[in-house]
Chains A and B, each alone.
Chain A
Amino acid sequence: MSHAKPIATLRSATGIPTGRLAIWWVLASEVVIFGGLIGSYLLHRLGHPEWADAAAVTNTTIGAINTFVLLTSSFTAVLAHQAAEKGDGKTAAKYLLFTIGGALTFVCIKSYEWWSEISHGYTIASHTFWSFYYTMAGLHALHVIAGAIIMGVVALDAYRGRELHRVELIGIYWHFVDVVWIFLFPLLYIAK
């Protein structure tokens, strides 16, 4: 059972690269997962206007900073893709590292934010608004962390000039993670 790539991977009956097809299907299933969670939250929120009291406590400034961090990291992911297109693995790896840095910054800021909220008594079980808050943002954060880890592997390969097509793929995933946050930010921080 050698790990040589199957001939099957070299074919492209649709004309679209196999990896890109795969990542779009992954995103399709992720959309339905987050859609289910966000949809459930929306239904609850619309049915419980009094939740606004709980929602008032979220820190819009921190949320906005994190939004900026993620958007910037998406920008560096685009730069990484551009470099990869030109075959410049080392530059691509550099920009991917910036993106990972953005991810870590996001997670650090969120950790501080959550630690602050928890120590004020706003735990996951304190109120159903907070249950949704931590579950949605938590699921999102898990995707950020997982994405950063995979991105690290891709960056390592890219630095060595290998598998450069994966830079685009992890970039597409990263934009999705960004888009989910673009939905969460107004729902959790702005709609008060």
Chain B
Amino acid sequence: MADTAVAIDHESHADAHHGPTGILKYVWSTDHKIIAMQYLFTGMFMAVIGGFMAYVFRMQLAFPGISVPGYGQVSPGEYNSLITNHGSIMIFWVAMPVLIAAFGNFLIPLMIGADDMVFPRINRLSYQIFLLSALILLASLFVAGGGFGGAWTSYPPLSAVGEYNQTNIGATMWLIAVALEFVAFLLGGINFIVTLMNSRAPGMKAYDIPLTAWMIVLASVLFMLSVGPLIAGAAMLLFDQTLGTGFFDPARGGDPILWQHLFWFFGHPEVYVVLLPAIGFTIDITSTFARKKVFGYKIMLYTAVATAVLSFFVWAHHQFVAGIDPRMANVFTITTLLISVPVGELLFVMIATLYGGAIRLAVPMLWALSFIAEFLIGGVTGIFLGASGADIYFHDTYFVLAHFHYTFFPIAIIGTFAAFTYWFPKMFGKMLDERLGKIHFWGTIIPFNFIFIPLFMLGGIGQHRRIYNFEHFPELAEPWMYNLRAIATISLVIMLLFQLVFFLNVIKSWIGGEKAGNNPWKANTLEWSTVSPPPHGNWAPADLPKVYRGPYEYGHPDREEDYWPQNEPD
């Protein structure tokens, strides 16, 4: 033990002599936990901006022509910029950095009993590139013409020609920001994948790895193997925008539909890139608070892989009416409907894990369970869109929008809150206030449903997307429709206001909350075997854990306790 003390002391001694001090220590840190925090706070900051954008354009939709408090009047061009950047920010600068980069960085080394990632400096570089991409995106909102207004899908020719989209500079900056974000995640992914493959604690076999870690790594693999064609496409679009090439210009032998294929070949796997980590969090949290072994660890793992593989073969369901060969649509309807089988399987396993449990409804568990309940709705509504015959009607309506919010919101928002409330004690060494947590939970979930159920209904009667004012469409301008729009908007405002409770809880708990021990949830995985928060190096070098069993040994009959940490010797 004395050796360990000397070793740690020597290390911090070395720090004092070799590293910068004060705030710069955090800017230049290569510690995976600091980098995780950087991603987390950047992502949450961007979420506030994306949420504000939603508030502005929903106010315009519910009360057309209104001077939106905190913004002013919304012009048609501004409306297009707001929806474009809302979508782009939420997917690329909130969901991905928080779910994958923040929690992946924080958890993976801890969950596998390692002291850091294998490439700490590449890790730091990935955050710096990510930060740069976020800054460029934000800067694009303030240039002449404003932020890009061609939708997050950026279809050419609208996105390729400044005269068409009237946001010439914004369009190019948006594209560069997205491309840089891709580079950042390619770099980050290498760290996650290689660290998980190689740096596991002695005794940790592949099936002893917690599903959260597996899912984040699978997501990274899926991302790395699917984003390539879109990077190629982005280069082509960039040249169309800036060099006068005609990759997507039919007058020059180009094809606008090519972009759509390149985009969605990535775009569809991308939704599973963000889904898998959320499922990982949900199953780990469910297991902990139901005190139950995961019902089918291997099933979940293989099904997740099957989902990822299948996700490469469904992309053109976004393009049924786009002008593709109609015969192709049949192929994609079949593959799309079949993917509901493995995704359903994942949900069934999570539900089955509750059977025979001793369920405690702590705040993280409330979030994890609500993920299942809400994502089920999102998932089944996707069937309406995967069925090509039905999609003829539903394409580009609010039905699509409500479907993907019933999937993305559980993924990005519920998943984040589940993971955050669960691992907050480990990250910050304090417990969050349960009562405030419950108020925040209900204040988020209930309004959420009242935002999007009206939008399903409006989509059902044919309301189409990306329209800033329905006054020109008599069949969409009935009073009862405006009432539904108002209900959705007011619910959004209420939901946004309840997020203040969350910030209040975080600040209050961080400053004066109850101190968290190593393992407040009595969980099994390795991150709970060290101090909260973990020191640099996570464990003293001599205390690095060894693994003796799988991560979900809850309720074991041979044990007095209902949990059995992975690092406890037999």
Complex A-B: 24 CB contacts under 8 Å: A3-B18, A6-B537, A8-B117, A8-B199, A11-B114, A13-B204, A14-B198, A16-B197, A21-B198, A26-B190, A33-B231, A35-B229, A36-B231, A40-B229, A40-B232, A44-B255, A44-B258, A124-B243, A127-B252, A127-B253, A128-B247, A128-B253, A131-B239, A135-B236
- Complex CA distance for A8 and B192, rounded to whole angstroms: 12
Contact A8 B190 (CB under 8 A): no
- Complex CA distance for A18 and B228, rounded to whole angstroms: 23
Does B404 lie at the interface of the complex (its beta carbon under 8 Å from any beta carbon of A)?
no
B-contact bits for A112-156, CB 8 A (1 contact / 0 none): 000000000000110110011001000100000000000000000
Q: A17 to chain B: closest CB distance in Å? A: 8
Instruction: Please pick, from B18, B236, B246, the residue contacting A2 in the complex, using a CB distance under 8 A.
Output: B18
Known: A39-B229, A128-B254. A7 touches B262 (CB 8 A): no
- Complex CA distance for A40 and B118, rounded to whole angstroms: 36
- Complex CA distance for A36 and B237, rounded to whole angstroms: 14
Contact A33 B29 (CB under 8 A): no
- Complex CA distance for A93 and B190, rounded to whole angstroms: 27
> Which residue of B has the minimal Cβ distance to A16?
B198
A31, A32, A34 pick with most chain B CB within 10 angstroms: A32
Does B28 lie at the interface of the complex (its beta carbon under 8 Å from any beta carbon of A)?
yes
Does A48 lie at the interface of the complex (its beta carbon under 8 Å from any beta carbon of B)?
yes
Contact A21 B114 (CB under 8 A): no
Known: A21-B197, A29-B228. A8 touches B29 (CB 8 A): no
- Complex CA distance for A71 and B414, rounded to whole angstroms: 53
B contact set with A: CB distance below 8 Å? 11, 14-15, 18-19, 25, 28-31, 34, 109, 114-121, 186, 189-190, 193-195, 197-200, 204, 224-233, 235-236, 239, 243-247, 252-255, 258, 262, 265, 536-537, 541, 544
Contact A40 B262 (CB under 8 A): yes
Does A183 lie at the interface of the complex (its beta carbon under 8 Å from any beta carbon of B)?
no
Within 8 A of B (CB), among A1-58: 1-4, 6-9, 11-14, 16, 18, 21-22, 25-26, 28-37, 39-40, 43-44, 48, 51
**A21 to chain B: which residues have CB within 8 Å?**
193-194, 197-198
**A48 to chain B: which residues have CB within 8 Å?**
253
A39, A43, A51, A131 pick with most chain B CB within 10 angstroms: A131
Instruction: Please pick, from B117, B204, B228, the residue contacting A6 in the complex, using a CB distance under 8 A.
Output: B117
- Complex CA distance for A37 and B234, rounded to whole angstroms: 10
Q: A129 to chain B: closest CB distance in Å? A: 8
Known: A40-B258, A125-B243. A22 touches B186 (CB 8 A): no
Instruction: Please pick, from B25, B31, B228, the residue contacting A32 in the complex, using a CB distance under 8 A.
Output: B228
- Complex CA distance for A61 and B246, rounded to whole angstroms: 28
Contact residues of B: prevailing secondary structure: helix
Contact B198 A44 (CB under 8 A): no
Contact B30 A124 (CB under 8 A): no
Contact B197 A13 (CB under 8 A): yes
Contact A29 B227 (CB under 8 A): yes
**A11 to chain B: which residues have CB within 8 Å?**
114, 198-200
Contact A124 B233 (CB under 8 A): no
Q: A113 to chain B: closest CB distance in Å? A: 19
**B186 to chain A: which residues have CB within 8 Å?**
29
Instruction: Please pick, from B14, B195, B247, B265, the residue contacting A4 in the complex, using a CB distance under 8 A.
Output: B14
Contact B243 A6 (CB under 8 A): no
Contact A22 B190 (CB under 8 A): yes
Contact B190 A7 (CB under 8 A): no
- Complex CA distance for A12 and B252, rounded to whole angstroms: 53
A contact set with B: CB distance below 8 Å? 1-4, 6-9, 11-14, 16, 18, 21-22, 25-26, 28-37, 39-40, 43-44, 48, 51, 124-125, 127-128, 131-132, 135, 139
Q: B334 to chain A: closest CB distance in Å? A: 23
Q: Beyond the given A13-B198, A128-B252, could you list 16 further A-B residue pairs with CB under 8 A, ordered by the A residue number?
A: A1-B536, A7-B541, A13-B200, A14-B197, A16-B198, A22-B190, A22-B194, A28-B225, A29-B224, A29-B225, A30-B228, A32-B224, A32-B227, A33-B231, A39-B229, A139-B235
**A25 to chain B: which residues have CB within 8 Å?**
189-190, 193-194, 224
**B121 to chain A: which residues have CB within 8 Å?**
3
Known: A13-B197, A128-B252. A31 touches B228 (CB 8 A): yes
Known: A1-B15, A1-B25, A13-B199. A7 touches B115 (CB 8 A): yes
**B230 to chain A: which residues have CB within 8 Å?**
36
Contact B224 A2 (CB under 8 A): no
Contact B245 A6 (CB under 8 A): no
> Which residue of A has the minimal Cβ distance to B231?
A33
- Complex CA distance for A79 and B232, rounded to whole angstroms: 33
A25, A36, A43, A135 pick with most chain B CB within 10 angstroms: A36
Known: A1-B15, A6-B115, A44-B253. A124 touches B229 (CB 8 A): no
**B117 to chain A: which residues have CB within 8 Å?**
6, 8
**A13 to chain B: which residues have CB within 8 Å?**
197-200, 204
**B193 to chain A: which residues have CB within 8 Å?**
21, 25
Q: B40 to chain A: closest CB distance in Å? A: 18
Contact A36 B14 (CB under 8 A): no
Contact A8 B15 (CB under 8 A): no
**A40 to chain B: which residues have CB within 8 Å?**
229, 232-233, 236, 247, 258, 262
**A135 to chain B: which residues have CB within 8 Å?**
235-236, 239, 245
- Complex CA distance for A139 and B121, rounded to whole angstroms: 25
> Which residue of B has the minimal Cβ distance to A7?
B115
**A4 to chain B: which residues have CB within 8 Å?**
11, 14
